[in-house]
Amino acid sequence: MKVIKGLKIGGLQSKIFNLVLIFIVALIAAYSGVLVVHQKNLTNIVREASEQQQAAIETVTEETMAAVLNSSLTRSTALQAYIADDLFADVRADVLTLQAFAEELFAHRDSFAAHPVSAPSLANDGVPAVMLIHEEAVDPADSESLGLVANMSEIMLAMYEASDNLASVFVGTADGNMVLVNDRSGIYIAEDGSPLPLDIRHRPWYTQAAEAGELIFTGVELDAYTDNPMLECAAPVYHNGELVAVVSADVYLSSISDYVNSTASEGNFVCVVNADGQIIFSPATEGVFQAKVSSEAGDLRESESQTLADFVTQALRESTGLREISVDGKVYYASGVPLPTVGWAVLSIVDKTLTDQPTELMLDNYDQINDNALSTYEDGAHRASQTIIFLTIILFLMAITGALVVGKRIVKPLEQLTKRINSQLKGGAAFTMDDSYRTGDEIEVLAEAYADVTKRTQNYIQEIITITAEKKRIGTELALATRIQADMLPNIYPAFPDRPEFDIYATMDPAKEVGGDFYDFFLIDDDHLGLVMADVSGKGVPAALFMMVSRILVQNYAMTGRSPAEVLKAVNDQICSNNREEMFVTVWFGVLDIRTGKITAANAGHEYPAMMLTNGQFELVKDKHGFVIGGMEGIRYKEYELQLTPGSRLFLYTDGVPEATDARSEMFGTDRMLAALNIDPNAAPETILKNVRAAVDGFVKEAEQFDDLTMLCVEYKGKDNEGTI
């Protein structure tokens, strides 16, 4: 045993020194190994957590965006298609009215004198007027039909003035003459003052209607005088099996084109496809969605993109919902709804890259935050390694206790951080800063960075939850509005259990959550019962609000004892005084004298009522219509009377009944309605309404209800001479 500077080599002191030295070296080696393993595990955990959170963010965002698009885009497209198709349906109804009137004229031509009609006059330019147009080689004086069809002048003029959509209304005879109504007399006059001729029997509206033998819509045609694009609806008129005339109305399409162009935004637009699968209106200036003339436009149903071809094919038949289509290497969200009246379809297109941008931006931000956190951790780990080397030198000079204390201080926070992160990944509590992580070194920096990432992720998820809750709230409020609207109308039956002189029943089924139709019945006094049936323009919440105001006004004025015509005039003046949204309502209002069964009524542009006559069958009462409520101030309405006898019934309804449409775009019509009423005409009012509703449901089947469906039936039972039932 040697002694060197007080240290005994080989002795007990040396062994103790060696033992301590070996223990310290082993401890340092073990500590270093544990630290390296923890660092690797923590790095892997952070990366795994980042990947899982990225996947969760991407999945939740895509599902949320798809749900929002499916709801908003599909409803928006359906609403746009409904508005456009409603315009064409109105034109179709007008032309069918003209066709029926013309056929009646020819069937009873001996009962009508020739009505005069004049050539176009510059004095009428800018004013709705009736004028005569004829072919170049035709002399109107030789026509046998011109004077007869000229008897339609007043109805054509009234039809033109009552519509905001019609560009012209006209009827062309088989001998080359035409009675025309519009406000553009000047375009039909040459520079020398003579009327310009028109090749009437070779115009598309005449030839196509004559060839089809039924009502038709032409393609998009150019006006013969102005070259403006328009759509024409025409129907042939036959007498004794021979074509004698063609009635028609046209609509300028510039308003639809302007609206479609206004929808254009970056990657988002609306376009219109005709029955041949060709784009006819679109804001796109290039690519497959660009509108071209029919000779150059392709049929999208034959597109190389199968998803596009299938989408357009379905859109021309039915509502598509939200679809994904691939065109020219790009992916789009698309929704399509048909226009059944003309056989077109409205398409809404959204570039999918726009909906992916929020997800990509969030993932980019998340990657940046995660990279910064990982970089901070790696820098801290590097500095920690340098600290460990320094501590190793100190440990060689310190006792084992000092080494253990230092080792515990360094390792314990890492172990707790790793456990906390693992707990979070397994669905535990969110990661938050703890005093155990506040070591004042890189471990604290790493913990703070990871806590910040976790907080940002939770905030984003909370935002998604908030958005979802808001959608549910809106749905709840709409459901509440539906119940409130139903409660506003009389809905307790029997309505007047103490009045055996009559029985009454009514229903209202809105097309949307809330509707614009309404009915009402109320006792004005002991001997008079007020009956109301009305239809507000538009659908949804605005129509429901307008409906409630209109109902209150009608009832309030009626309770003052005014006549039906006076009530409608007062309501019209009140609504017109503050109607900035230019909404209107059609109203049938009648007052039943309970003692005599006489009904005094006035009609403001509403449907014809149906009445059970003495033969025991329901028939339409074709009363004279006044102008709609809210359309023009100062309108006066005419009254008429109906006489109910004991056992008679009166049926009132809105256009949702005759215009209910099946999957083939065929309307239910008044004939089917009368047939349903006459299944059991002597039944109670409630049973009669159920029969009509059953007939409508059986006709439309699975087709979507596009309009409110409202009905009312009153049965008059009367009194005997002693005043008892």
Query: Tens digit of pLDDT for each residue in 174-225?
Result: 999 999 999 999 999 999 989 999 999 999 999 999 999 999 998 777 777 7
- What are the two backbone dihedrals, phi and then psi, of residue 115, each rounded to the nearest 5 degrees? -95, 135
Q: ∠ at Cα 566 (562, 568), nearest 5°?
A: 115
CB atoms within 10 A of CB 698: 12
Distance CA 359, CA 54 (A): 10
DSSP string, 255-294: HHHHHHHHT-BTTEEEEEE-TTS-EEE-S--SSTT----T
Distance CA 723, CA 725 (A): 7
3-state secondary structure of 225: coil
Residue 481 tokens read as: 């509005």
Q: Compute the mean pLDDT over every residue in the chain, rounded to the nearest whole number.
A: 84
Domains of the chain: 108-256 (3.30.450.20), 489-721 (3.60.40.10)
Q: In 3D, which of 255, 6, 217, 274 has the Cα closest to residue 92?
A: 217
CB atoms within 10 A of CB 639: 19
Distance CA 402, CA 27 (A): 12
Residue 96 tokens read as: 């069918």
pLDDT at position 128 is 96
**Cβ-Cβ contacts under 8 Å for 578 (sequence gap 6 or more):** none
Residue 79 tokens read as: 């609403």
Report, as an integer, the average pLDDT of 677-684.
Answer: 96
CA distances from 414 to 33, 157, 386, 672 (A): 13, 89, 17, 82
Query: Tens digit of pLDDT for each residue in 557-606?
Result: 999 999 999 999 999 999 999 888 889 999 999 999 999 999 999 999 99
Distance CA 587, CA 60 (A): 50
**Cβ-Cβ contacts under 8 Å for 258 (sequence gap 6 or more):** none
Distance CA 713, CA 725 (A): 20
pLDDT at position 42 is 64
Q: Give exposure, 188-215, as e/b (b: 16+ Cβ within 10 Å).
A: bbeeeeebeebebbebebbebbbeeeeb
CB atoms within 10 A of CB 423: 12
Per the CB < 8 A criterion, the answer to whether 222 and 229 are in contact is yes
Q: Which of 327-341, 343-357, 580-594 has the highest mean pLDDT?
A: 580-594
DSSP string, 568-607: HHHHHHHHHTT-TT---EEEEEEEEETTT-EEEEEEES-P
pLDDT at position 712 is 97
Q: Residue 640 pLDDT more than 90?
A: yes
C-alpha dihedral sign at 485, 487, 490, 492? positive
Considering only residues 290 and 476, tell me which one the structure prediction assigns the higher pLDDT.
290
pLDDT at position 12 is 47
List, in sequence order, the alpha helices (H) in 489-599.
540-558, 564-576
Residue 423 tokens read as: 């707990």
Angle, helices 352-397 vs 442-488, to 10°: value is 150
